[in-house]
Structure 1
Amino acid sequence: MDFAGKVVLVTGAGSGLGRAASLAFAREGAALCLVGRSRAKLEETGRLIRDAGGRCVELACDLGEPRGCREVIEGAMTAFGRLDVLCNIAADVMFHRLADIKEEEWHRTIASNLSGPFFLMQAAMPHLIESSGNIICVASTAGFMGQAYLAPYTASKFGLVGLTLSLAMEMMDSPVRINILSPGPMRTEMTQGMSFPDFADPRLLARYTGMRPPCLPENGGAKLDHGGGGEVLLRAA
């Protein structure tokens, strides 16, 4: 793939899959707009890209706020004058029983995992139409099957799948391609140190943990089965 002259915006670029994707795009010649909450983590990703001769700009933002999403797109256009690819990768996850989920935790998860991608796509669409660009939304195997103790996360990923498919249908006659990438378990900063809580029923967890161990973000393209460490790609448009 040749991304020379292309501009790619990646959310969650400070670590994990977002950082791995950013570095991969940079190796293919793309200029990167690195988006995330932590400026320090974005700057570390940016250093890795620049040390390898790439170009990037760091845009720290809370993607749970619609205004922040619009400002990120404006920042990308100011920095590079175009936008070719939008990668919605950033996500929040937490384990809770239904009775223990706090109102603010529900709203935070939905805002980060579903509302943020929506408002980014809404703001980016005119620029992507102009560049005949692409959108990639990273959902999860949790976007296709219920997962115990992950009600807010699973709801947000089901919603992201539906949102992406809906927009792909709406934009069918436009030059923008919209796709969903749904990874299985991965060893990322978000999941490192995470363990199932004591109250978790192993019988329920076994329904979606898969036979294979989680993979590294850099190896996410491995051809593993649904529910393992690989991914399922749904071509929506």
Structure 2
Amino acid sequence: MSLLKLSHVSAFYGPSQALFDVHLTLEEGQVLALMGRNGMGKTTTVKVICRMLRNRGGKVLFDGQDLANVPAYRAARKGLGLVPEGRRCFPNLSVYENLIAAARPGPWDFQAVTGLFPRLAERRDQMANSLSGGEQQMLAIGRALMTNPRLLILDEATEGLAPVIRQEIWASIRRLKQETGMAILVIDKSLRELRAIADNAVILDKGRSVWSGAIPDLSPQVTDRYLGV
């Protein structure tokens, strides 16, 4: 059974339709890249998965359960861990307070998170709004891990960061894949990095799934058509 499966998903913002026919499947332990140009429905798909936006058509199944009537907080408790676009740390809480705010029992605790991101241990008592952008991103990932999710969703986790910090974030994602077997859904614009880490990919275009498959099968013709500028 797939851990996450979307079939024929449609979604709206008020009267405006944003998703028309989205399909994706993610197995336990896999990394799936959700790709597409800006405005094609990637973040909207994440909102639907995490139940921040209801789908009007199709099905969203997590571990075989239909999430149609599941509120966002219960979806999170079922094992959906989101690192949202723009980080969104609690600015007036310390690093430690941010991490324990949503912590749930499991292997990912403060020690494990700071083992992945040692810089967070150094900044333990600093307010989140005093951190650099890269440190805030590490904090956002660490906060999601502290919920001990079955599926980690990373929405543009390296956007706007300095190259050296981007590489540090990608290295942490590779460690998560290699050492934990955690299922990961990752949205990013860096095709080179995604090719190195993802097992499969789904491309969205104008709210529709237009390509899916193993990432080594992603051809230059497909990337030029759906991902090129």
With the length of structure 2 as denominator, give the TM-score of the two structures.
0.36
With the length of structure 1 as denominator, give the TM-score of the two structures.
0.35
Q: Greater helix share, 1 or 2?
A: 1
Bigger RCO of structures 1 and 2 (CA < 8 A, at least 6 apart)? 2
Q: Greater strand share, 1 or 2?
A: 2
